Structure 1
Amino acid sequence: MTSLSLQFFTMGMMLLSGIGMGVIFDGYRVVSNELRFPRWTLPVLDMVYWLAAALLVFRVLYASNYGEVRAYVFIGLLFGVLSYYWLLSRPVIRIVKWVIEAVRALIRFTVRTFELLIVKPIILLYRLVRVLIGFGTALTIFLLKIVLQLVRPFWLLLRFLLGPLIRPLWRWLGPKLASLKFKERWDKLQSGVIKLWKRLF
């Protein structure tokens, strides 16, 4: 025979269990509505909720009076559920919605901060590097043209002076150089460099 104090203690624990079931159910309902779970998952989640609630109540009951089921157990559980929906349901729903909005705001803030501090600086750095490389390339080509224009008279003079020596040597080396296909290889290398340049920049 259980004592009266144990009965009241068990009833109080069942009352708290009923309140806890209400809190969890409202939280689950608000989260499923806010996150828009697929409809086919709702029966499964309902079953999971009721199984979890039954296990929780049984665990609390076992800790209170070693699992003895009496009428006051159901009275305490029912009174806890009704008290929750009468007094606490609306505040709990508002709190859960506020928590969801706070989490969403935190996620948005984190994503925005990541974009501002990481993504955009990388994009700006990439664009700056492209501009510098393009400017450096244009400047190099411009300077090379100037150098070639300055060197051209000396080259023409040197070619004129060395022409009698170069022509026989070229007639001898020409067929051998042609067999090595330097021009085809150079054109292929040049084409590959241009394609790589266009792909990167």
Structure 2
Amino acid sequence: MTLHVQFQTIFMMFLSGIAIGAMFDVFRVLSGKLRLPRWTIPLVDMMYWIVATILVFRLLLYSNEGQVRIFIFLGMGIGVCFYFAFLTNMVVRFTLILIRIIVALYRFIAKTVEYILIKPIIGLYRLTVIILGFLLAVAIFLYRIVLQLLYPLWRMLLWMTRPVHKYFVMPVWLKKLMGNIITIYRRLFSK
């Protein structure tokens, strides 16, 4: 292994130490903001370590074909210390700002969908119900008026055909129909 490869490997491990520290802060901030239950903390920790391990070994494979030496751990340790000494506050602030932007964007999209789709559909439904209710009330009102106007004619028709009833036998179904019509009329207008 040449000196150039060793310095490249140390630099890559330094960067992976910084990346491990940044991922730690991002996971810490996200778990705090999402208010995860206590039982999920081991799962989040395991996910963190899996991602960190994959990152370190990918960089190690890229830089020196996966050879593990003592200076690799030294480079990672220096990177982690450098990160927590100088960069942690900046990454935490950036993560919080990014979370606020994502939450604001989500709220904006939700409000937009609500005002463009949901509220017009609800308003159209309510308007349809109001119009149909009004039309039904008008139809019932007109129906009652027509029945009231036709009732005297009906009574006059019954009075005029009373002599005919004496000579002709009215079918039973016609008697029931007339009785039902009179009963319905009395129910509607006796109130």
**TM-score tier (shorter):** 0.7 to 0.9
TM normalised by structure 2 equals: 0.83
After superposition, residues 1-150 of structure 1 pair within 5 angstroms as: 2-150=1-149
What is the distance in 1 between the residues matched to 2:128 and 2:139?
Answer: 16
What is the distance in 2 between the residues matched to 1:136 and 1:71?
Answer: 87
Question: What secondary structure is seen at the aligned counterpart in 2 of 1:40?
Answer: helix
TM normalised by structure 1 equals: 0.79
Question: What secondary structure is seen at the aligned counterpart in 1 of 2:107?
Answer: helix
What is the distance in 1 between the residues matched to 2:34 and 2:162?
Answer: 85
Aligned length: 178
What is the distance in 2 between the residues matched to 1:128 and 1:51?
Answer: 56
Q: 1:177 Cα shift?
A: 6.1
Residue number in structure 1 paired with 2:188: none
Question: What secondary structure is seen at the aligned counterpart in 2 of 1:111?
Answer: helix
- CA change 1:145–1:51 in 2 (3 A) is closer
What is the distance in 1 between the residues matched to 2:132 and 2:140?
Answer: 12
Gaps of 5+ in 1: 188-201
What is the distance in 1 between the residues matched to 2:14 and 2:128?
Answer: 68
After superposition, residues 153-164 of structure 1 pair within 5 angstroms as: 153-164=152-163
Name the stretch that deviates more: 11-20 or 145-154: 145-154
Residue number in structure 1 paired with 2:187: none
- CA change 1:130–1:169 in 2 (3 A) is farther
